[in-house]
A and B are shown apart, each in its own frame.
Chain A
Amino acid sequence: MSPQINPSAAKKPQMKRSVIGAVLSALFMGLGQLYNRQYMKGILYAVLELFIIVVWYKPIMNGLWGLYTLGEQQQVRGARGRITEQGDHSIFLMIEGVIVVLVLLVILLVYIRNIIDAYKTGKMIDEGGQPKTFAESMRNAWDNGYAYILLTPAFFFTLFLTVLPLVFGILIAFTNYAAPVLPPLRLVDWVGFQTFINLFRLEIWSNTFYGVLWWTIIWSILATITTFFVGLFYAVIINHKRIRYKKLWRTIFILPWAIPQFISILIFRNIFNGQFGPINQYLVKLGLDPIPWLSDPTWAKIALVMVNIWFGFPFWMALMSGVLTSIDRDMFEAAEVDGANGWQKFWKISFPLVMFATAPLLIMGFAGNFNNFNMIYLFTQGGPANIAYSYAGSTDILISWIYKLTLEQNQYNMASVVSILIFVIVAIFSIYNFRKTRAFKEEDMIQ
């Protein structure tokens, strides 16, 4: 086509078809296939591009404009709040923009495929082969592209229901989308890193953030450690050789894990009710003062950790019971010959083996508690209120604070900034954990 190609093609005649085919396909989808005498495929590609240009040109351009400007026409209202000019809705424009960008990426993938295909077919003809017929191509696609066909549904689900919302969520952090700047009444603007700076610099935000972060960390550590050791304790004592009905005990103790968690949390919310809950009623009957379980910050935290032990220990117990029963008895007998007592046998044999089997889960348990929304929100709803905090209560952890910022307070940009920070923290834990397990390093060795 272009003058640069012809001389080079003359010099290297064996490269001719592949290069020309690729260039033609790069100019317009399907041209290279037509040139390689794959008419059916070429026409399909060309029709696809024509369709995109004719039908999708305007939406694509609109989407990019919307993503860039987030709207230019503010809503205008006349007398008595009647809308005289609808105006642009920044958030809809932004989502449409993100969708357009994702669609463009998919189109780009198809385009690259088309160029590579023209190149490969051309090369085959250069080397004296025959271009595949349409039917052959289809069969070939079915065989070689089987993996892609399998992945297509999952790909689109993930792209539009996970990736798209996440990209949008991240973008929100760089806007001023928060009450009172709410579409359709007001236009949202890009503000760069201003919200991040506000979180750390403005006292109303930084006080809350550090306070909530601190409790989130304490909570995650306490919740993980207590359940881990309580679980270990029960696994060990049930495993004592003179204890009978081991299976029965384990089944009873696994109940808290088996009951749907949101139900048992709501039950405990009632049990700990400060006025009418049974615990306080018993305390009063015993002549003691009732404890303000859910209305005092410290007691609320204590109650949370206690209830969490109830939920959490069965999982560890079940896991560790499995490890303990699988330990080879010979090891203990050898230790006995060497004069070890029960205590030593536990710390030198059982405990290291249990730790070895459960350490990766301990880290994931920590990450899980870090984001344990249900436990906090259903039990205390973050309460009791804390006047020193912006939109958070005394027992709120980061994730429940985000929930309140989003659904109750419309502080979307700040919620998004905090989400990004949570992601960073969880990512550090997961990557650390992942590198330890070596699953990823070794996963290609099976073939």
Chain B
Amino acid sequence: MTNPTRKQRSLSPGMRLRENLVVASIYIILILTAIFVIYPVVWIVLGSMNPGDTLFSSAFIPDHLTLDHYKRLIADTDYVLWYKNTLFIATMNMIISTFLIVTSAYAFSRFRFPGRRKGLMAMLVLQMFPGFMGMIAIYILLLQLNLLDNHWGLILVYAGGSIPFGAWLVKGYFDGLPRSLEEAAKIDGASNTTIFFKVMMPLSIPILTFIAVNNFIGPWMDFIFARLVLRSNENKTLAIGLFEMVTGRGNTEFTLFAAGAVLVAVPITILFLFLQKYIIEGLKAGANKG
């Protein structure tokens, strides 16, 4: 940053030295930061393979490594069940939310109908309410529908909540797509449905990926609604299960938590790194479009 000149030869020896110092200090900063960034990751991975149960007894560099906690996690706790629950809820939420978001975004972007502007405004306003303002109502509603402590109840809540933000985002993206292709297809006699699947979908892969991934990852992270809706131990999601492991009973299950955390974090992190381009683009679009 100090000297991005291309003609390095023309630099005086003093400036050369200064630049070398800058580069050296940047490397030092980068390495130190990398240690800070990676430390918690290494710490939890080592923690998960530490003999002993508690936070206190787990040293940073243990005498020997063990996979006991992973075995115990799978054999003695409901962890596998929670994992299945979360995977099921996440997948269903991804499918239903993406369907609802894409259909409404397509309608708002490509059709002009009475009530359109009002609908868009309403969705914008809905986004601004704190998400769990409706918590009590949702609780009672699910109770009445007999969907409390039921995965479908939670999926419905997630899917309903994802529409306003997602529809605005995808609508903004659709608005930016050229219409000439659709018009050509229309002249060839294609129906609206065909146009959507054959013309719009292939052009919208980036934003659809973002929406799908977002709705898939959401249930892995959500704590509030999962805790509200799901009551029994066998219906829990990972977020609640892991939270209870470290907050209850004085951290005695720390190493179990560590093993559980690693097993959740690894696939999600890989998924994220793999799709980071789409995620950054999607967030940028989200801020600019509403």
Q: Which A residues fall within an 8 A CB radius of B?
A: 91-92, 95, 98, 146-148, 150-151, 153-155, 157-158, 160-166, 168-170, 172, 234, 236-243, 249, 251-264, 266-271, 273, 275-278, 310, 315, 318-319, 322, 332, 336, 341-343, 345-346, 360-361, 364, 371, 373-374, 377-378, 381, 399, 402-403, 406-407, 412, 416, 419, 422-423, 426-427, 430, 433-434, 437, 439-440, 443, 446-447
Query: Are the CB atoms of B156 and A249 closer together than 8 Å?
Result: no
Query: Are the CB atoms of A259 and B268 closer together than 8 Å?
Result: yes
Query: Are the CB atoms of A157 and B2 closer together than 8 Å?
Result: no
Return the CB mask of B92-133 against A: 1 if under 8 Å, else 0. 000000011101101110111100100110011111111111
Residues of chain B within 8 A of A430, CB atoms compared: 124, 127-128
Considering residues A151, A261, A342, which has the most beta carbons from chain B within 10 angstroms of its beta carbon?
A: A151
Alpha-carbon gap, A155 to B101, bound state (A): 11
Name A's interface SS: helix
Query: Are the CB atoms of A266 and B128 closer together than 8 Å?
Result: no
If A95-B140, A242-B19, A437-B289 touch, whether A146 touches B179 (CB-CB below 8 Å) is no
Name B's interface SS: helix
Q: How many residues of B contact A (CB 8 A)?
A: 101
Query: Are the CB atoms of A267 and B103 closer together than 8 Å?
Result: no
20 A-B residue pairs with Cβ-Cβ distance under 8 Å, sorted by A, are A153-B99, A154-B100, A163-B126, A165-B137, A170-B133, A234-B33, A237-B30, A252-B34, A258-B269, A263-B242, A267-B43, A267-B261, A273-B55, A276-B55, A310-B36, A419-B129, A434-B290, A437-B288, A443-B172, A446-B179
Query: Are the CB atoms of B156 and A172 closer together than 8 Å?
Result: no
Query: Are the CB atoms of B280 and A319 closer together than 8 Å?
Result: yes
Query: Are the CB atoms of A249 and B30 closer together than 8 Å?
Result: yes
Check if B163 is an interface residue, CB within 8 A of chain A. Answer: yes
User: In whole Å, how far is B17's beta carbon from the nearest beta carbon of chain A?
Assistant: 14
Residues of chain A within 8 A of B75, CB atoms compared: none
Check if B77 is an interface residue, CB within 8 A of chain A. Answer: no
If A150-B104, A266-B257 touch, whether A164 touches B137 (CB-CB below 8 Å) is yes
Return the CB mask of B15-36 against A: 1 if under 8 Å, else 0. 0000100110011011001101
Query: Are the CB atoms of A151 and B119 closer together than 8 Å?
Result: yes
Give 3 nearest A-B pairs by CB, closest first.
A165-B134, A161-B160, A147-B111
Query: Are the CB atoms of B224 and A237 closer together than 8 Å?
Result: no
Query: Are the CB atoms of B103 and A270 closer together than 8 Å?
Result: no
User: In whole Å, how far is B59's beta carbon from the nearest beta carbon of chain A?
Assistant: 9
Alpha-carbon gap, A53 to B5, bound state (A): 82
Residues of chain A within 8 A of B268, CB atoms compared: 258-260
Which residue from B107, B116, B138, B179 sits with its C-beta under 8 Å from A161?
Answer: B138
Which residue from B30, B43, B126, B254 sits with its C-beta under 8 Å from A158?
Answer: B126
